[in-house]
Amino acid sequence: MPTTTPSPPGSAAVLCGLAGWVPPRVVTNDELAARLDTDDAWIRTRTGIRSRHVAGPGQATSDLAVESGRLALRSAAGPPPDTVIVTTTTPDRPCPATAPLVAFRLGLSGAAAFDVGAVCTGFVYGLATAAGLIACGTARRVLLIGADTYSTIVDPLDRANAVIFGDGAGAVVLRAGEPDEPGAVGHFDLGSDGAHEDLITVAAGGSRRRGTAGEPSRTERHFAMRGKEVYRHAVTRMATSARASLGQAGLQTADLDHFVPHQANLRILHSVADDLGLPRERCVANVDAVGNTGAASIPLALADAARRGCLQAGDRLLLTAFGGGLTWGSCLLTWPAHAPCPQPERTTP
Ligand code: COA
């Protein structure tokens, strides 16, 4: 579904705050290999992942969201947000949404607050939602948080998925500004294909799977993914979506300074970069240290790159995501003059 960039004065969403936060507990490949039939070499070769962070006992998605949100607000000068969006696949509960609690805990009671669900594409869908609210004047300042605790839905005995996913949160603050100023996001491409909804699922816990046939089985309660098929879709959809965003802006791959893909796994990222004809070194990647963190992965990768000084004012970035649904999306972002990323209280290793 192509969308056009808002163009009236003061109606563009401009990045002015950014932070990432991961829980302190690090789980290495060797630690997983001690309890699963896997090994460090297999995991690194197939996924590029060395370690991931995992939430502590009782630590919920909102806890991670609040930490990243607080840091992002601290990094952004200006008034408090009037809108809080949390995008997640692992909300604290099916009801209510996680965002109102996060807003309350951040001292933002009264703000509009709601969740966006698009699995690993959630952050790009959330950006488009925030940009739309700003474009129509309903919001002037939005706190958007991508947060996921996959450790709560992945079966710890499922070696195929336990090695891939990690927990984390990333947040951005967006303010109303001009479409051509550094920091502006735009040229969104969003899409979905529900015919493949069975490739990435949690079968139980929603309205489809009720208690009529007894308690859900262990398999139904956990995250399931058909990895090989997901891999193929991810590469194709991300490359196509990336091209669609570039096409809307009248740009070529060569015009990009950085490609910031959803950190699914390193092979997918490199395949997409190769497909686009983009040198792999322009692909921002931190999946080795955090794994696939779902809706958190793009803001975590951005925060990591900003903290390492890899992003310069005026750099042109393309963000591209893919996830269950299937869903996908891309948008362009010019890096703002004032780097909106303070030293986080906790960093990736
Ligand atoms: N350790 C060791 N062996 C493992 C393993 C692990 N952690 N997980 C799976 N295997 C085994 C499989 O059981 C299979 O064994 P078999 O041949 O005896 O059946 C073998 O390794 C090969 O599995 P295969 O699925 O062919 O591996 P692959 O090269 O496709 O890699 C994934 C598997 C999951 C890493 C890969 O398919 C993938 O990255 N998919 C996309 C996942 C993703 O990024 N999803 C997020 C999208 S938002």
* Angle, vertex CA 219, rays to CA 226 and CA 92, nearest 5: 95
The DSSP code for 336 is: P
Q: Which two tokens stand for residue 57?
A: 């006992």
Q: Tell the residue number behind the tokens 């920091």, with chain if given.
A: 183
Name the domain count of the chain.
1
Q: Find all residues with CB under 8 Å of 104, minimum gap 6, and list them.
A: none
Candidates 120, 283, 331, 341; catalytic one: 120
Return the H-helix or E-strand segment holding 319.
Answer: strand 316-323
Return the H-helix or E-strand segment holding 248.
Answer: helix 227-249
**In the annotation, is 262 catalytic?**
yes
Q: Which two tokens stand for residue 314?
A: 């005026």
Q: Tell the residue number behind the tokens 């479409």, with chain if given.
A: 179
**In the annotation, is 120 catalytic?**
yes
Nearest CA to ligand 1 atom 10: 160
Output the domain CATH number for residue 100. Answer: 3.40.47.10
Query: Which residues span the domain enclosing 38?
Result: 1-349
Q: Atom of ligand 1 at shortest distance to CA of 228? A: 37
Q: What is the spatial distance between Cα 349 and Cα 347, in angstroms, rounded to a whole number?
A: 6
pLDDT tens track, the chain, 349 positions: 555 554 667 799 999 999 999 999 999 999 999 999 999 999 999 999 999 999 999 999 999 999 999 999 999 989 999 999 999 999 999 999 999 999 999 999 999 999 999 999 999 999 999 999 999 999 999 999 999 999 999 999 999 999 999 999 999 999 999 998 999 999 999 999 999 999 999 998 888 876 556 777 878 889 999 999 999 999 999 999 999 999 999 999 999 999 999 999 999 999 999 999 999 999 999 999 999 999 999 999 999 999 999 999 999 999 999 999 999 999 999 999 866 665 555 544 3
Q: What is the spatial distance between Cα 130 and Cα 139, in angstroms, rounded to a whole number?
A: 8
What's the 231 CA to ligand 1 centre distance in angstroms?
Answer: 10
Contact 162, 28 (CB under 8 A): no
- The predicted model scores a pTM of 0.94
Q: Which two tokens stand for residue 76?
A: 């952004």
